[in-house]
Amino acid sequence: MQKIAIGVLGYNEEFGVGRLLESLRSQTLIHEDYSISVTVVSNGSTDRMAAVAREKLRDPALSGIQTQVVELPIADKCNAWNHFVHCAASAADYYILLDADVILITSTALSELIDTLQQNQNARLCAGKVIDHKGNVLVRNLDGKCYAARGEILGQIVIPEGIVMDDTYILVTAITNWYGIEFEAGMQKGYLAHAKNPTVQCGSTPRDRNLTYWLASRKRTIIGGYVQGQIDFCMKTLFGGGESAKQIALELSKTNPHWFSEFLKKKTDRPPFNPSSMMRSTSLKNIIQFGVYCYCYLLSLKGVWDHEFGHRAWRLKSRYW
């Protein structure tokens, strides 16, 4: 019997995790011929997220699956990801990763992720289709809020300390074959598949409407792009890409887990200034968006200078007004 490990990762999501686990009850996947486990990882939470998760997982509708709740001291999603894949969950044929602030939309949402991987033999990852609270599809290659992966792929990936965006690192590492080929070549090989139907909905928790959280997430995105560029350089140029890069990265994760953070602290460059297409017109909306981006870019510069990588990229301890 094939094994599927479902990981729910969250920080201070007592509101969100309850709704997600309630939506899990109706999933057809948990009644299919698989050995399924559900692990909720509360990383650094100061609210009742873990307690709510334990309560919801006692639901009789989930009695046929293995469940556990893990509490970690650091609010670092990458660390939570590593702990789930390599420590908390038993080795599985497939993994499903969910953020604790989403809701599964249809009863076949998780089944579609696994079915898509099984029907596309080259696919290493299957991206769930994520919609916001207004029903708009969030256009990304892979969103960390919901995706599935083959066990043999995730079992060979350890996210280095200092990485900001777990989903970007997982996507690029798997699609480029550990930075041995170009991203587009991996896409053409079919390493990434997509669910056809909406999988999860996000954006309706109280924190999603918090201005500070909104600004911090944009600061984190800018720093995340900078950090991903640095890991690209390490894996391609210093480690040689491909099998060599994979083996070196795995060995470093065992002998010196801080290797990438130490590398970042020695860098003296800065994130690229990339306001995208915000200023296509001089409308008031675009001017405001450009101003917000500039403000978050200043926060990001300060963050890089202060070595705010990993979970520290979320910090908003400086103000520029």
Residue 320, pLDDT score: 54
- The reply to whether 166 and 226 lie within a common domain is no
How sure is the predictor about 139, in pLDDT bands with cuts at 50, 70 and 90?
Answer: confident
- The reply to whether 78 and 197 lie within a common domain is yes
CATH classification of the domain holding 159: 3.90.550.10
- The reply to whether 167 and 272 lie within a common domain is no
Contact 12, 46 (CB under 8 A): yes
Question: In this predicted model, which residue has the larger pLDDT, 208 or 39?
Answer: 39
Q: Looking at the predicted structure, is the pLDDT value of residue 247 above 60?
A: yes
pTM of structure: 0.93
How many folded domains does the chain comprise? 2
Final residue before a domain boundary, out of 155, 174, 207: 207
For the segment 63-95, what is each residue's pLDDT rounded down to a tens digit?
A: 889 999 999 999 999 999 999 999 999 999 999
Final residue before a domain boundary, out of 207, 240, 265: 207
> Would you say residue 139 lies in a domain?
yes
Cα-Cα-Cα-Cα dihedral sign, residues 297, 78, 170, 24: negative
Q: Residue 62 CB: number of other CB atoms within 10 A?
A: 18
Contact 170, 186 (CB under 8 A): no
- The reply to whether 168 and 254 lie within a common domain is no
- The reply to whether 162 and 253 lie within a common domain is no
> Would you say residue 169 lies in a domain?
yes
Q: Looking at the predicted structure, is the pLDDT value of residue 274 above 90?
A: no
* C-alpha to C-alpha distance for 113 and 129, rounded to whole angstroms: 10
The closest of 259, 255, 232, 256 to 245, measured between CA atoms, is 232
How sure is the predictor about 319, in pLDDT bands with cuts at 50, 70 and 90?
Answer: low
> Would you say residue 307 lies in a domain?
yes
How sure is the predictor about 38, in pLDDT bands with cuts at 50, 70 and 90?
Answer: very high
Q: Lowest mean pLDDT: which of 43-47, 153-157, 210-214, 243-247? A: 210-214
Residue 321, pLDDT score: 46
3-state secondary structure the chain: CCEEEEEEEECCCHHHHHHHHHHHCCCHHHHCCCEEEEEEEEECCCCCHHHHHHHHHCCHHHCCCEEEEEEECCCCHHHHHHHHHHHHCCCCCEEEEEECCCEECCCCHHHHHHHHHHHCCCCCEEEEEEECCCCCECCCCCCCCEEEEEHHHHCCCCCCCCCCCHHHHHHHHHHCCCCCCCHHHHHHCCCEEEEEEEEEECCCCHHHHCHHHHHHHHHHHHHHHHHHHHHHHHHHHHCCCHHHHHHHHHHHHHHCCCHHHHHHHCCCCCCCCCCCCCCCCCCHHHHHHHHHHHHHHHHHHHHHHCCCCHHHHHCCCCCCC
Residue 278, pLDDT score: 60
- The reply to whether 203 and 216 lie within a common domain is no
Q: Which domain holds residue 127?
A: 3-207
> Would you say residue 319 lies in a domain?
no
- The reply to whether 203 and 230 lie within a common domain is no
The stretch 209-231 carries a mean pLDDT of 91
> Would you say residue 320 lies in a domain?
no
- The reply to whether 96 and 191 lie within a common domain is yes
* C-alpha to C-alpha distance for 97 and 287, rounded to whole angstroms: 37
Contact 261, 79 (CB under 8 A): no
Q: Lowest mean pLDDT: which of 2-11, 173-182, 249-258, 286-295? A: 286-295
For the segment 81-131, what is each residue's pLDDT rounded down to a tens digit?
A: 999 999 999 999 999 999 999 999 999 999 999 999 999 999 999 999 999
- The reply to whether 203 and 272 lie within a common domain is no
Cα-Cα-Cα-Cα dihedral sign, residues 98, 104, 107, 109: negative
Q: Looking at the predicted structure, is the pLDDT value of residue 61 above 80?
A: yes
